[in-house]
Amino acid sequence: MQATKLGRKLQYLIVAAVLGVAPTCFAAETASMTLTGVGTNGALGGVYVGPYVGTIDTVKTQLICDDFADESYIPESWTADVYSLSDYTSLRFYNSSNPSATQIGYEEVAWLSQQLTNQSLGLATAISCTTTSSINCAGDIQYAIWAVFSSPAALNQLSSGDPNRTNAQAWLDQAALQYSTGDYSNVSIYTAVPGTAMCGTVHCPSSPLTPQEFVVVRTPEPPGLAVLGIDFSAIGVLILFFRRKITN
């Protein structure tokens, strides 16, 4: 009887461990998003720059916009399809007449988004990305992101004599040089499902259009299989413990 009870407990522990790991092994195909704030980097050229503040399935998240042409509102909620960069044929700016250019463009966006979330990188100094009254480092990178798929319209938002425009072009040039060296496994693209945008209980002004497309750069986490290995190592210890208890 004692061995049977311990065996059942062990089964419950194994099931709980596997279920606990499952979310790290499988990604959701859609997500519920809400734009809640403009972030802390202010405006440049009369436009708020990212990262913005939002929630993804109620989790507070930094959102980076790659879409200069469309509009998003606060508070706006919508359903988004979630993609990795390998899914570029499903993304908003996919160009069927030049697929390779689309792929390169999204890799440039991903590289720039990583820079935007980590401005301590060496390139920030090389591009004179210092915080002064005339330089908005985050804004420069944001405009470079917008310019990947909306050039020259995005850069034309800044006057020709503005040093921020010079810096934005410098970031765009660096992205063209650096994109192929990056690891973008921590980058996801969130593309709104048409017709799902709501502002409270009414459709937002963007409807029937869709909110902007957003990029999320996540802090790397242990791979699911590695976590699974850790959990099953713990289970192995439990099995040994229970065997000793049973045989004593």
What ranges do the domains of the chain cover?
2-17+224-247, 30-217
Task: Kindly state the average pLDDT of the residues 26-43.
Answer: 86
Task: Kindly state the average pLDDT of the residues 44-57.
Answer: 96
Residue 84 has pLDDT above 70, yes or no: yes
Predicted local distance difference test score (pLDDT) of residue 59 = 97
User: Contact, 49 vs 197, CB < 8 A?
Assistant: no
Q: pLDDT of 127-185, one tens digit each?
A: 777 666 678 889 999 999 999 999 999 999 999 999 999 999 999 999 999 999 999 99
Whole-angstrom distance, CA of residue 27 vs CA of residue 190: 13
Task: Kindly state the average pLDDT of the residues 60-70.
Answer: 96
Structure tokens at 205: 């002004």
Whole-angstrom distance, CA of residue 111 vs CA of residue 172: 10
Predicted local distance difference test score (pLDDT) of residue 128 = 72
42-78 residues labelled b (16+ CB within 10 A) or e (exposed): eebbeebbbbbbbbbeeeebbbbbbbbeeebeeebbb
Residue 93 has pLDDT above 60, yes or no: yes
Whole-angstrom distance, CA of residue 84 vs CA of residue 55: 19
The single residue listed with the structure tokens 């990583």 is 114
Phi, psi (5° rounding) for residue 141? -70, -40
Whole-angstrom distance, CA of residue 45 vs CA of residue 38: 15
User: Contact, 210 vs 192, CB < 8 A?
Assistant: yes
CA–chain centroid gap for 103, Å, is 17
